[in-house]
Structure 1
Protein backbone atom coordinates (compact mmCIF):
# COMPACT_ATOMS: atom_id res chain seq x y z
CA UNK A 1 0.00 0.00 0.00
CA UNK A 2 1.36 3.52 -0.80
CA UNK A 3 2.74 5.58 2.06
CA UNK A 4 0.21 7.71 3.97
CA UNK A 5 1.11 11.38 3.57
CA UNK A 6 -2.25 13.12 4.13
CA UNK A 7 -4.35 13.50 7.28
CA UNK A 8 -6.68 10.53 7.57
CA UNK A 9 -10.44 10.93 7.80
CA UNK A 10 -11.78 11.10 11.34
CA UNK A 11 -12.51 7.62 12.69
CA UNK A 12 -9.76 5.92 10.68
CA UNK A 13 -7.35 3.74 12.69
CA UNK A 14 -4.02 5.53 12.35
CA UNK A 15 -1.58 4.20 14.99
CA UNK A 16 -0.92 1.45 17.51
CA UNK A 17 1.23 1.78 20.61
CA UNK A 18 2.44 -0.83 23.05
CA UNK A 19 2.85 0.14 26.70
CA UNK A 20 5.14 -2.31 28.49
CA UNK A 21 7.25 -2.64 31.61
CA UNK A 22 10.21 -3.92 29.53
CA UNK A 23 10.86 -1.54 26.65
CA UNK A 24 14.22 -3.00 25.68
CA UNK A 25 12.81 -6.52 25.72
CA UNK A 26 9.85 -5.43 23.57
CA UNK A 27 12.17 -3.75 21.07
CA UNK A 28 14.15 -6.97 20.69
CA UNK A 29 11.07 -9.23 20.54
CA UNK A 30 9.09 -7.29 17.93
CA UNK A 31 12.22 -6.42 16.00
CA UNK A 32 12.91 -10.12 15.60
CA UNK A 33 9.34 -10.87 14.51
CA UNK A 34 8.71 -7.98 12.14
CA UNK A 35 12.17 -6.72 11.20
CA UNK A 36 11.48 -3.39 12.86
CA UNK A 37 14.09 -0.72 13.45
CA UNK A 38 13.49 2.11 15.90
CA UNK A 39 13.80 5.88 16.15
CA UNK A 40 13.08 8.23 19.08
CA UNK A 41 9.50 9.40 19.55
CA UNK A 42 7.91 12.08 21.75
CA UNK A 43 8.54 11.40 25.44
CA UNK A 44 5.56 13.37 26.77
CA UNK A 45 4.38 10.53 29.03
CA UNK A 46 7.61 8.54 29.32
CA UNK A 47 10.29 6.79 27.22
CA UNK A 48 8.93 6.06 23.74
CA UNK A 49 10.23 4.87 20.38
CA UNK A 50 8.70 4.59 16.92
CA UNK A 51 8.97 1.26 15.14
CA UNK A 52 9.85 1.49 11.44
CA UNK A 53 9.29 -1.00 8.63
CA UNK A 54 11.49 -0.27 5.62
CA UNK A 55 12.03 3.20 7.04
CA UNK A 56 8.34 4.05 7.50
CA UNK A 57 6.86 4.55 11.01
CA UNK A 58 4.23 1.90 11.70
CA UNK A 59 3.82 1.60 15.50
CA UNK A 60 5.04 2.89 18.85
CA UNK A 61 6.53 1.26 21.93
CA UNK A 62 6.61 2.98 25.30
CA UNK A 63 6.95 2.42 29.02
CA UNK A 64 3.77 1.97 31.05
CA UNK A 65 3.24 4.96 33.38
CA UNK A 66 2.73 2.56 36.29
CA UNK A 67 5.57 0.17 35.42
CA UNK A 68 6.58 -2.24 36.82
CA UNK A 69 3.46 -4.33 37.24
CA UNK A 70 1.20 -2.14 35.09
CA UNK A 71 -0.80 -4.18 32.54
CA UNK A 72 1.04 -4.58 29.24
CA UNK A 73 -1.02 -4.01 26.11
CA UNK A 74 -1.45 -2.54 22.66
CA UNK A 75 -3.68 0.50 22.10
CA UNK A 76 -5.28 1.33 18.74
CA UNK A 77 -5.56 5.06 17.97
CA UNK A 78 -8.19 6.66 15.75
CA UNK A 79 -7.72 9.86 13.79
CA UNK A 80 -9.62 12.79 15.31
CA UNK A 81 -10.09 16.22 13.82
CA UNK A 82 -10.23 17.66 17.34
CA UNK A 83 -9.04 15.41 20.18
CA UNK A 84 -10.60 17.61 22.87
CA UNK A 85 -14.05 17.55 21.26
CA UNK A 86 -13.88 13.78 20.66
CA UNK A 87 -12.81 13.25 24.28
CA UNK A 88 -15.83 15.19 25.47
CA UNK A 89 -18.07 12.97 23.34
CA UNK A 90 -16.48 9.91 24.97
CA UNK A 91 -17.64 11.18 28.39
CA UNK A 92 -21.09 12.14 27.12
CA UNK A 93 -21.58 8.64 25.68
CA UNK A 94 -20.69 6.82 28.90
CA UNK A 95 -17.00 6.13 28.28
CA UNK A 96 -14.02 7.34 30.29
CA UNK A 97 -10.93 9.36 29.41
CA UNK A 98 -7.89 8.10 31.30
CA UNK A 99 -5.15 10.26 29.75
CA UNK A 100 -5.35 13.71 28.22
CA UNK A 101 -6.00 15.23 25.93
CA UNK A 102 -2.31 16.14 26.03
CA UNK A 103 0.08 17.61 23.51
CA UNK A 104 2.83 15.26 22.30
CA UNK A 105 5.22 18.00 21.30
CA UNK A 106 4.79 19.01 17.68
CA UNK A 107 3.73 15.48 16.68
CA UNK A 108 0.08 15.94 17.63
CA UNK A 109 -2.49 15.80 20.40
CA UNK A 110 -3.68 12.59 22.02
CA UNK A 111 -6.09 11.08 24.48
CA UNK A 112 -6.49 7.54 25.80
CA UNK A 113 -10.02 6.45 26.59
CA UNK A 114 -12.24 3.42 27.21
CA UNK A 115 -15.64 2.66 25.70
CA UNK A 116 -18.78 1.58 27.55
CA UNK A 117 -17.53 -2.04 27.80
CA UNK A 118 -14.03 -1.07 28.92
CA UNK A 119 -12.16 -1.49 25.62
CA UNK A 120 -9.21 0.92 25.61
CA UNK A 121 -8.51 3.04 22.53
CA UNK A 122 -6.75 6.25 21.65
CA UNK A 123 -7.58 9.47 19.83
CA UNK A 124 -4.89 11.11 17.72
CA UNK A 125 -5.05 14.61 16.29
CA UNK A 126 -2.08 14.44 13.97
CA UNK A 127 0.09 17.46 13.30
CA UNK A 128 3.69 16.72 12.32
CA UNK A 129 3.03 13.00 12.76
CA UNK A 130 -0.14 11.78 11.03
CA UNK A 131 0.14 8.11 12.00
CA UNK A 132 1.45 4.94 10.45
CA UNK A 133 2.74 5.38 6.92
CA UNK A 134 2.21 1.86 5.59
CA UNK A 135 -0.32 -0.91 6.15
CA UNK A 136 -1.12 -4.30 4.69
CA UNK A 137 2.52 -5.22 4.01
CA UNK A 138 4.72 -7.59 6.06
CA UNK A 139 5.71 -5.93 9.32
CA UNK A 140 2.94 -3.32 9.20
CA UNK A 141 -0.52 -3.03 10.83
CA UNK A 142 -3.38 -5.07 9.39
CA UNK A 143 -7.10 -4.38 9.58
CA UNK A 144 -8.26 -3.95 13.18
CA UNK A 145 -11.43 -5.02 14.94
CA UNK A 146 -13.14 -4.55 18.28
CA UNK A 147 -13.94 -7.72 20.22
CA UNK A 148 -16.77 -6.95 22.62
CA UNK A 149 -19.59 -8.64 24.54
CA UNK A 150 -21.87 -5.71 23.58
CA UNK A 151 -21.71 -5.05 19.81
CA UNK A 152 -24.91 -2.97 19.78
CA UNK A 153 -23.63 -0.68 22.53
CA UNK A 154 -20.27 -0.40 20.79
CA UNK A 155 -21.72 0.57 17.44
CA UNK A 156 -23.76 3.37 19.00
CA UNK A 157 -20.77 4.58 21.03
CA UNK A 158 -18.26 4.75 18.17
CA UNK A 159 -20.81 6.20 15.76
CA UNK A 160 -21.27 9.12 18.13
CA UNK A 161 -17.69 9.55 19.36
CA UNK A 162 -15.96 9.24 15.99
CA UNK A 163 -18.82 10.73 13.96
CA UNK A 164 -18.60 7.83 11.52
CA UNK A 165 -21.04 5.50 9.82
CA UNK A 166 -21.70 1.93 10.93
CA UNK A 167 -23.09 -0.83 8.74
CA UNK A 168 -23.80 -4.53 9.18
CA UNK A 169 -21.07 -6.75 7.81
CA UNK A 170 -23.26 -9.81 7.20
CA UNK A 171 -27.05 -9.96 7.28
CA UNK A 172 -28.39 -11.76 10.34
CA UNK A 173 -25.22 -11.38 12.42
CA UNK A 174 -24.03 -8.90 15.03
CA UNK A 175 -20.80 -8.21 13.15
CA UNK A 176 -20.55 -4.69 11.76
CA UNK A 177 -17.92 -2.30 10.46
CA UNK A 178 -17.05 1.35 10.92
CA UNK A 179 -16.87 3.57 7.85
CA UNK A 180 -14.80 6.74 7.55
CA UNK A 181 -15.24 8.90 4.47
CA UNK A 182 -17.47 6.16 3.06
CA UNK A 183 -15.00 3.27 3.26
CA UNK A 184 -14.75 0.47 5.85
CA UNK A 185 -11.90 1.03 8.31
CA UNK A 186 -12.52 -1.29 11.28
CA UNK A 187 -14.78 -4.11 12.43
CA UNK A 188 -16.87 -4.83 15.52
CA UNK A 189 -17.81 -8.36 16.52
CA UNK A 190 -19.12 -10.20 19.56
CA UNK A 191 -16.98 -12.21 21.94
CA UNK A 192 -18.30 -14.88 24.25
CA UNK A 193 -17.39 -16.13 27.69
CA UNK A 194 -15.33 -13.96 29.99
CA UNK A 195 -13.06 -12.39 27.39
CA UNK A 196 -12.80 -8.64 28.09
CA UNK A 197 -13.61 -6.11 25.41
CA UNK A 198 -10.55 -4.94 23.49
CA UNK A 199 -9.35 -3.64 20.18
CA UNK A 200 -7.25 -6.34 18.55
CA UNK A 201 -3.71 -5.34 17.54
CA UNK A 202 -3.04 -7.21 14.30
CA UNK A 203 -0.01 -7.17 12.01
CA UNK A 204 0.51 -8.46 8.49
CA UNK A 205 3.22 -11.10 7.96
CA UNK A 206 4.27 -13.25 5.04
CA UNK A 207 3.93 -16.52 7.00
CA UNK A 208 1.82 -16.50 10.21
CA UNK A 209 2.97 -19.95 11.31
CA UNK A 210 6.65 -19.10 10.93
CA UNK A 211 6.10 -15.83 12.81
CA UNK A 212 4.33 -17.73 15.60
CA UNK A 213 7.26 -20.12 15.87
CA UNK A 214 9.67 -17.17 16.09
CA UNK A 215 7.49 -15.59 18.80
CA UNK A 216 7.47 -18.73 20.92
CA UNK A 217 11.22 -19.18 20.49
CA UNK A 218 11.71 -15.59 21.67
CA UNK A 219 9.67 -16.13 24.85
CA UNK A 220 6.15 -15.38 23.61
CA UNK A 221 3.17 -17.72 23.67
CA UNK A 222 0.38 -18.82 21.36
CA UNK A 223 -3.02 -18.06 22.91
CA UNK A 224 -6.58 -19.09 22.21
CA UNK A 225 -8.71 -17.17 19.77
CA UNK A 226 -10.33 -14.13 21.45
CA UNK A 227 -13.67 -14.91 23.05
CA UNK A 228 -13.27 -18.68 22.81
CA UNK A 229 -12.50 -21.35 25.39
CA UNK A 230 -8.91 -21.34 26.74
CA UNK A 231 -8.33 -24.71 25.09
CA UNK A 232 -9.28 -23.44 21.65
CA UNK A 233 -6.69 -23.40 18.88
CA UNK A 234 -4.54 -20.30 18.51
CA UNK A 235 -4.86 -20.39 14.72
CA UNK A 236 -7.80 -19.90 12.42
CA UNK A 237 -9.07 -17.54 9.74
CA UNK A 238 -10.27 -13.97 9.96
CA UNK A 239 -13.51 -12.74 8.32
CA UNK A 240 -11.57 -11.96 5.10
CA UNK A 241 -10.39 -15.58 4.89
CA UNK A 242 -6.76 -14.87 5.77
CA UNK A 243 -4.90 -17.07 8.21
CA UNK A 244 -4.59 -15.52 11.68
CA UNK A 245 -2.56 -16.55 14.72
CA UNK A 246 -3.15 -15.09 18.20
CA UNK A 247 -0.06 -14.49 20.32
CA UNK A 248 1.25 -12.85 23.47
CA UNK A 249 4.66 -11.28 23.90
CA UNK A 250 6.96 -12.27 26.81
CA UNK A 251 5.31 -9.67 29.10
CA UNK A 252 1.76 -10.71 28.21
CA UNK A 253 0.91 -8.12 25.54
CA UNK A 254 -1.71 -9.65 23.22
CA UNK A 255 -1.48 -9.30 19.45
CA UNK A 256 -2.32 -11.24 16.31
CA UNK A 257 -0.59 -11.84 12.99
CA UNK A 258 -2.39 -12.39 9.72
CA UNK A 259 -1.27 -13.51 6.31
CA UNK A 260 -2.12 -15.64 3.31
CA UNK A 261 -3.82 -18.99 3.80
Structure 2
Protein backbone atom coordinates (compact mmCIF):
# COMPACT_ATOMS: atom_id res chain seq x y z
CA UNK A 1 0.00 0.00 0.00
CA UNK A 2 1.23 3.46 -0.80
CA UNK A 3 1.93 6.20 1.68
CA UNK A 4 -0.91 8.37 0.38
CA UNK A 5 -2.99 7.05 -2.46
CA UNK A 6 -6.45 8.42 -1.78
CA UNK A 7 -6.68 10.42 -4.99
CA UNK A 8 -5.09 8.01 -7.45
CA UNK A 9 -6.39 5.03 -9.36
CA UNK A 10 -5.57 1.72 -7.69
CA UNK A 11 -4.08 -0.99 -9.88
CA UNK A 12 -6.68 -3.81 -10.09
CA UNK A 13 -5.82 -6.49 -7.53
CA UNK A 14 -4.31 -4.04 -5.04
CA UNK A 15 -5.73 -4.04 -1.50
CA UNK A 16 -7.58 -0.74 -1.37
CA UNK A 17 -9.81 -0.83 1.73
CA UNK A 18 -10.50 -2.73 4.94
CA UNK A 19 -13.91 -2.90 6.57
CA UNK A 20 -15.35 -4.41 9.72
CA UNK A 21 -18.96 -5.45 10.38
CA UNK A 22 -19.91 -5.67 14.05
CA UNK A 23 -22.94 -6.02 16.33
CA UNK A 24 -22.27 -2.89 18.40
CA UNK A 25 -21.09 0.03 16.28
CA UNK A 26 -20.71 2.57 19.08
CA UNK A 27 -18.60 0.44 21.41
CA UNK A 28 -16.39 -0.68 18.51
CA UNK A 29 -15.88 2.93 17.44
CA UNK A 30 -14.72 3.74 20.97
CA UNK A 31 -12.27 0.80 21.03
CA UNK A 32 -10.49 1.78 17.81
CA UNK A 33 -10.64 5.49 18.58
CA UNK A 34 -8.70 4.83 21.78
CA UNK A 35 -6.31 2.31 20.21
CA UNK A 36 -5.53 4.08 16.92
CA UNK A 37 -6.74 7.65 17.42
CA UNK A 38 -9.47 7.32 14.82
CA UNK A 39 -12.29 9.79 14.34
CA UNK A 40 -15.42 9.02 12.31
CA UNK A 41 -17.62 10.35 9.53
CA UNK A 42 -20.85 8.88 8.12
CA UNK A 43 -20.47 6.28 5.38
CA UNK A 44 -22.69 5.46 2.37
CA UNK A 45 -26.35 5.26 3.40
CA UNK A 46 -26.81 2.19 1.18
CA UNK A 47 -24.64 0.19 3.60
CA UNK A 48 -26.87 0.78 6.61
CA UNK A 49 -25.26 2.01 9.88
CA UNK A 50 -21.69 2.55 8.65
CA UNK A 51 -18.88 4.98 9.42
CA UNK A 52 -15.60 5.84 7.75
CA UNK A 53 -12.64 5.89 10.14
CA UNK A 54 -10.45 8.97 9.74
CA UNK A 55 -6.90 9.65 10.83
CA UNK A 56 -5.85 13.28 10.54
CA UNK A 57 -8.92 13.79 8.37
CA UNK A 58 -8.00 11.04 5.90
CA UNK A 59 -10.08 7.88 5.41
CA UNK A 60 -8.31 4.69 6.53
CA UNK A 61 -11.02 2.05 7.13
CA UNK A 62 -14.74 1.42 7.53
CA UNK A 63 -16.90 -0.01 10.32
CA UNK A 64 -20.51 -1.06 9.88
CA UNK A 65 -23.22 -2.60 12.02
CA UNK A 66 -24.84 -5.91 11.10
CA UNK A 67 -28.62 -6.24 11.00
CA UNK A 68 -29.81 -7.45 14.39
CA UNK A 69 -31.13 -10.70 12.90
CA UNK A 70 -27.76 -11.66 11.40
CA UNK A 71 -25.29 -13.57 13.54
CA UNK A 72 -22.28 -13.54 11.23
CA UNK A 73 -18.60 -13.89 12.19
CA UNK A 74 -17.05 -10.56 13.13
CA UNK A 75 -13.92 -10.08 11.03
CA UNK A 76 -11.93 -7.50 9.14
CA UNK A 77 -12.45 -7.79 5.37
CA UNK A 78 -9.81 -6.87 2.81
CA UNK A 79 -11.07 -5.29 -0.43
CA UNK A 80 -9.18 -5.63 -3.71
CA UNK A 81 -9.45 -2.95 -6.37
CA UNK A 82 -11.08 -3.64 -9.72
CA UNK A 83 -11.97 -1.53 -12.76
CA UNK A 84 -15.06 -3.69 -13.43
CA UNK A 85 -16.74 -5.36 -10.46
CA UNK A 86 -19.15 -7.35 -12.61
CA UNK A 87 -16.42 -8.80 -14.83
CA UNK A 88 -14.24 -9.61 -11.81
CA UNK A 89 -17.18 -11.32 -10.10
CA UNK A 90 -17.65 -13.53 -13.16
CA UNK A 91 -13.94 -14.38 -13.18
CA UNK A 92 -14.12 -15.29 -9.49
CA UNK A 93 -16.96 -17.71 -10.16
CA UNK A 94 -15.20 -19.18 -13.20
CA UNK A 95 -12.06 -19.86 -11.16
CA UNK A 96 -13.81 -21.71 -8.32
CA UNK A 97 -14.59 -18.82 -6.00
CA UNK A 98 -17.95 -17.61 -4.73
CA UNK A 99 -19.72 -14.25 -4.94
CA UNK A 100 -21.87 -14.00 -1.83
CA UNK A 101 -23.12 -10.41 -2.08
CA UNK A 102 -23.38 -8.16 -5.14
CA UNK A 103 -21.96 -6.64 -7.12
CA UNK A 104 -24.09 -3.76 -5.87
CA UNK A 105 -23.99 0.01 -6.04
CA UNK A 106 -22.70 1.92 -3.02
CA UNK A 107 -23.56 5.42 -4.18
CA UNK A 108 -20.62 7.73 -4.73
CA UNK A 109 -18.30 5.03 -3.37
CA UNK A 110 -18.75 2.94 -6.51
CA UNK A 111 -19.63 -0.72 -6.91
CA UNK A 112 -18.72 -3.52 -4.48
CA UNK A 113 -19.11 -7.25 -3.92
CA UNK A 114 -18.27 -9.71 -1.14
CA UNK A 115 -16.61 -12.90 -2.38
CA UNK A 116 -14.61 -15.89 -1.23
CA UNK A 117 -11.74 -17.78 -2.83
CA UNK A 118 -11.70 -21.57 -3.43
CA UNK A 119 -10.42 -22.16 0.12
CA UNK A 120 -13.26 -20.12 1.62
CA UNK A 121 -11.37 -16.94 2.55
CA UNK A 122 -13.71 -13.93 2.37
CA UNK A 123 -12.62 -10.74 0.61
CA UNK A 124 -14.27 -7.81 -1.11
CA UNK A 125 -13.87 -6.27 -4.55
CA UNK A 126 -14.34 -2.56 -5.09
CA UNK A 127 -14.84 -0.64 -8.31
CA UNK A 128 -14.25 2.85 -6.97
CA UNK A 129 -15.77 6.03 -8.33
CA UNK A 130 -15.10 9.34 -6.61
CA UNK A 131 -14.14 7.59 -3.36
CA UNK A 132 -10.77 5.88 -3.78
CA UNK A 133 -10.43 3.83 -0.60
CA UNK A 134 -7.77 3.98 2.09
CA UNK A 135 -6.05 7.32 1.69
CA UNK A 136 -3.15 6.84 4.07
CA UNK A 137 -0.89 3.89 4.83
CA UNK A 138 2.26 4.00 6.91
CA UNK A 139 1.58 6.13 10.00
CA UNK A 140 0.42 4.48 13.22
CA UNK A 141 -3.25 3.54 13.04
CA UNK A 142 -3.30 2.79 9.32
CA UNK A 143 -3.52 -0.57 7.50
CA UNK A 144 -0.11 -1.30 6.02
CA UNK A 145 -0.25 -4.93 4.84
CA UNK A 146 -2.75 -7.66 3.98
CA UNK A 147 -1.94 -11.37 4.09
CA UNK A 148 -4.06 -14.39 3.25
CA UNK A 149 -3.73 -17.14 5.85
CA UNK A 150 -4.68 -20.46 4.28
CA UNK A 151 -3.84 -24.17 4.43
CA UNK A 152 -1.50 -24.17 1.45
CA UNK A 153 -0.66 -21.71 -1.29
CA UNK A 154 -0.91 -23.97 -4.34
CA UNK A 155 -4.55 -23.58 -5.37
CA UNK A 156 -5.29 -20.13 -4.03
CA UNK A 157 -2.09 -18.68 -5.45
CA UNK A 158 -3.22 -19.68 -8.92
CA UNK A 159 -6.70 -18.28 -8.20
CA UNK A 160 -5.44 -14.78 -7.38
CA UNK A 161 -2.91 -14.91 -10.20
CA UNK A 162 -5.66 -15.72 -12.71
CA UNK A 163 -8.40 -13.41 -11.41
CA UNK A 164 -6.31 -10.36 -10.52
CA UNK A 165 -3.11 -10.80 -12.51
CA UNK A 166 -0.81 -11.11 -9.50
CA UNK A 167 2.72 -12.30 -10.08
CA UNK A 168 3.48 -14.82 -7.34
CA UNK A 169 6.96 -15.00 -5.81
CA UNK A 170 7.60 -18.05 -3.63
CA UNK A 171 9.72 -17.83 -0.49
CA UNK A 172 13.27 -19.11 -0.86
CA UNK A 173 13.06 -21.20 2.30
CA UNK A 174 11.96 -24.73 1.29
CA UNK A 175 9.85 -25.32 4.42
CA UNK A 176 8.15 -21.90 4.37
CA UNK A 177 4.95 -21.99 2.28
CA UNK A 178 4.67 -18.32 1.42
CA UNK A 179 3.90 -16.31 -1.71
CA UNK A 180 4.35 -12.59 -2.17
CA UNK A 181 1.83 -11.14 -4.62
CA UNK A 182 3.23 -8.50 -6.96
CA UNK A 183 1.57 -6.05 -9.33
CA UNK A 184 3.60 -3.93 -11.74
CA UNK A 185 6.76 -5.11 -9.98
CA UNK A 186 5.70 -4.07 -6.47
CA UNK A 187 4.59 -6.32 -3.58
CA UNK A 188 0.96 -5.67 -2.66
CA UNK A 189 -0.03 -8.64 -0.45
CA UNK A 190 0.97 -12.18 0.50
CA UNK A 191 -0.38 -15.70 0.85
CA UNK A 192 0.84 -17.80 3.79
CA UNK A 193 0.17 -21.53 3.88
CA UNK A 194 0.16 -22.76 7.48
CA UNK A 195 -1.06 -26.34 6.95
CA UNK A 196 -2.63 -27.92 10.04
CA UNK A 197 -1.93 -24.76 12.03
CA UNK A 198 -4.84 -23.06 10.25
CA UNK A 199 -7.32 -22.07 13.00
CA UNK A 200 -10.21 -24.51 12.82
CA UNK A 201 -12.73 -21.95 14.08
CA UNK A 202 -11.75 -19.38 11.46
CA UNK A 203 -10.56 -21.33 8.43
CA UNK A 204 -8.79 -19.52 5.61
CA UNK A 205 -8.93 -15.75 6.07
CA UNK A 206 -7.39 -12.45 5.06
CA UNK A 207 -5.44 -10.73 7.83
CA UNK A 208 -5.12 -6.95 8.15
CA UNK A 209 -1.92 -5.52 9.65
CA UNK A 210 -2.23 -2.11 11.34
CA UNK A 211 0.86 -0.01 12.01
CA UNK A 212 1.67 0.97 15.58
CA UNK A 213 4.70 2.68 17.09
CA UNK A 214 5.06 0.12 19.89
CA UNK A 215 3.39 -3.31 19.42
CA UNK A 216 4.06 -4.28 23.04
CA UNK A 217 2.33 -1.20 24.45
CA UNK A 218 -0.48 -1.42 21.89
CA UNK A 219 -1.14 -5.08 22.72
CA UNK A 220 -1.34 -4.21 26.41
CA UNK A 221 -3.79 -1.43 25.59
CA UNK A 222 -5.97 -3.88 23.61
CA UNK A 223 -6.39 -5.92 26.79
CA UNK A 224 -7.17 -2.82 28.87
CA UNK A 225 -9.89 -1.93 26.35
CA UNK A 226 -11.55 -5.35 26.60
CA UNK A 227 -9.81 -7.18 23.76
CA UNK A 228 -7.43 -10.14 23.80
CA UNK A 229 -3.85 -10.92 22.82
CA UNK A 230 -3.79 -14.14 20.78
CA UNK A 231 -0.09 -14.18 19.99
CA UNK A 232 2.25 -12.10 22.16
CA UNK A 233 4.49 -9.46 20.59
CA UNK A 234 7.45 -11.04 18.79
CA UNK A 235 9.94 -10.31 16.04
CA UNK A 236 9.29 -11.64 12.54
CA UNK A 237 10.48 -11.00 8.98
CA UNK A 238 7.97 -8.18 8.48
CA UNK A 239 8.73 -6.50 11.80
CA UNK A 240 7.58 -6.75 15.39
CA UNK A 241 4.10 -8.26 15.48
CA UNK A 242 1.27 -9.01 17.88
CA UNK A 243 -1.91 -10.89 16.98
CA UNK A 244 -4.90 -9.47 18.83
CA UNK A 245 -8.71 -9.44 18.84
CA UNK A 246 -11.08 -6.59 19.61
CA UNK A 247 -13.90 -6.98 22.18
CA UNK A 248 -16.25 -8.53 19.58
CA UNK A 249 -13.58 -11.00 18.46
CA UNK A 250 -12.36 -9.41 15.21
CA UNK A 251 -8.74 -10.53 14.79
CA UNK A 252 -6.01 -8.26 13.41
CA UNK A 253 -2.26 -7.82 13.63
CA UNK A 254 -0.36 -4.95 15.17
CA UNK A 255 2.97 -4.31 13.46
CA UNK A 256 6.01 -2.07 13.64
CA UNK A 257 7.57 -2.82 10.29
CA UNK A 258 11.28 -3.16 9.66
CA UNK A 259 12.55 -0.24 7.55
CA UNK A 260 13.54 -2.73 4.85
CA UNK A 261 10.24 -4.68 4.85
CA UNK A 262 8.42 -4.56 1.52
The residue number in structure 2 matching 1:27 is: 29
Check the 8 A contact 1:10/1:164 in 2, yes or no: no
Residue 150 of structure 1: how far off its partner (Å): 2.3
CA 1:200–1:82 in structure 2 vs 1: closer, same or farther (change >3 Å)? same
Question: What are the residue-to-residue correspondences of 1:78-227 with 2, within 5 Å?
Answer: 78-172=80-174, 173-191=176-194, 192-195=196-199, 196-224=203-231
Counterpart in the other structure of 1:244: 241
Q: Normalising to structure 2: TM-score of the pair? A: 0.91
**Paired residues for 1:1-40 under 5 Å:** 1-40=3-42
Go from structure 1 to structure 2 and tell me whether the alpha carbon gap of 1:194 and 1:6 turns closer, same or farther (over 3 Å shift).
Answer: closer
Cα RMSD, aligned residues only: 1.5
Deviation at 1:211, TM superposition (A): 0.9
Q: Aligned with 1:223: secondary structure?
A: strand
- State the shift of 1:182 in Å: 2.0
User: 1:167: how far off?
Assistant: 1.7
Q: Which residue does the alignment assign to 1:231?
A: none
Q: What CA distance in whole angstroms lies between the structure 2 residues aligned with 1:67 and 1:40?
A: 23
Which secondary structure does the structure 1 equivalent of 2:10 belong to?
coil
- Alpha-carbon shift at residue 2 of structure 1 (Å): 3.4
Shift, 1:174, TM fit:
2.2
Unaligned runs of 5+ in 1: 225-233
* Distance of 1:65 and 1:86 partners within structure 2: 27
Q: Deviations over 1:10-53 (max 9, x none)?
A: 11100000010111111000010000000011132321100011
TM-score by length of 1: 0.92
Gaps of 5+ in 2: none
8 A Cα contact 1:207 1:260, kept in partner: no
Number of corresponding residues: 251
Instruction: Find the partner of 1:63 among 62, 65, 69.
Output: 65
